[in-house]
Amino acid sequence: MSRVGKKPITLPKGVEVKVDAAGVHVKGPKGTVSAPVLDGISVAVKDGRVDLVRSSEEKRIRAFHGLNRALVQNAVVGVAEGYRRAIDLVGIGYKAEKKGSEVVFTCGYSHTVRFPEPAGVTIDVAPDAKAKDVTHIVVTGVDKQKVGETATRIRSIKPPDPYKLKGFRFVGEVLKKKAGKATGK
């Protein structure tokens, strides 16, 4: 039995949910997000909460029950609060600069790396106006999957080096430093 799927989703103030054949459409103060409704799952909205009910006890449908509830919950949280992922650029001379709808990275390559801002996602460089920290960027948006995917694509531009730990890393990411090669006996 899915314990996750049985939990009702409470709707915060200002969040509206509409269900149709295409899926669940959630609208809130931060924007709109759609989540699919998988086969064998039905969605009911009443009294400020969303309930997901499965049609049978078949193994595949039981597996989808918790997944579908999590997708709808992520959509509700996204339109109410939004999602954010912070990245630090660690290394001498590493910096990011926002130019129009793209971010330009200087990260030790012989050229600059241009990263276009995807639709529905905002990339801020030095989000604190007081600090001119060009080594800290924040990816924000209402769709959890898009925010995570964009942050991972930015991190893959220059992943952390295991020996010096230089590169792009998520804030709070724990890295293990490898020992260098022994130079003799």
Q: Which CATH class is domain 3-80?
A: alpha beta
pLDDT for res 184: 63
Answer yes or no: are the C-beta atoms of 102 and 116 closer than 8 Å.
yes
Same fold? 3-80, 83-170: yes
CB-based burial label for 33 (10 Å; 0-12, 13-18, 19+): buried
How confident is the model over 54-80, as a mean pLDDT? 92
Q: CATH classification of 83-170 is 2.60.40.1930, yes or no?
A: no
What is the layout of strands, in order, in the sheet containing 95-99?
95-99, 102-106, 113-116
Count of CB atoms within 10 A of residue 90's CB?
17
pLDDT for res 39: 87
Answer yes or no: are the C-beta atoms of 154 and 115 closer than 8 Å.
yes
pLDDT of residue 5 exceeding 70: yes
Answer yes or no: are the C-beta atoms of 58 and 44 closer than 8 Å.
no
pLDDT for res 79: 96
3-state helix, strand, coil in the chain (%, to 5): 20, 35, 45
pLDDT of residue 168 exceeding 90: yes
Q: Where along the chain do its domains lie? A: 3-80, 83-170
Structure confidence by residue, pLDDT tens digits, 108-163: 999 999 999 999 999 999 776 555 778 899 999 999 999 999 999 999 999 999 99
Question: Taken in order 52, 58, 62, 68, is the CA torsion positive or negative?
Answer: negative
pLDDT of residue 84 exceeding 70: yes
With cut-offs at 50, 70 and 90, classify the pLDDT of residue 63. confident
Going from the C-alpha of 19 to that of each of 38, 60, 139, 164, the distances in angstroms are 12, 22, 29, 51
